[in-house]
Amino acid sequence: MALINIAAREIHCKIVYYGPGLSGKTTNLKYIHSQVPKEAKGELLSIATE
């Protein structure tokens, strides 16, 4: 579920990519993040797995 703050013009949501290891999930998200204008994006958080 996304949280929409109309006054601040923000949408907060979680995106979960699910799939086997080495299938390009992190690479895909990093690319999408790199294409969004700096003033329109937040931090990209990637949690390392074992």
* Tens digits of pLDDT across the chain (50 residues): 899 999 999 899 887 888 998 899 889 989 999 999 999 888 988 877 76
Whole-angstrom CA distances from 38 to 15, 20, 23, 34, 43 are: 19, 30, 27, 8, 10
Q: pTM of the predicted model, to two decimals?
A: 0.60
CA angle 1, 49, 34 (to 5 degrees): 60
Q: Facing residues of 3 across strands?
A: 12
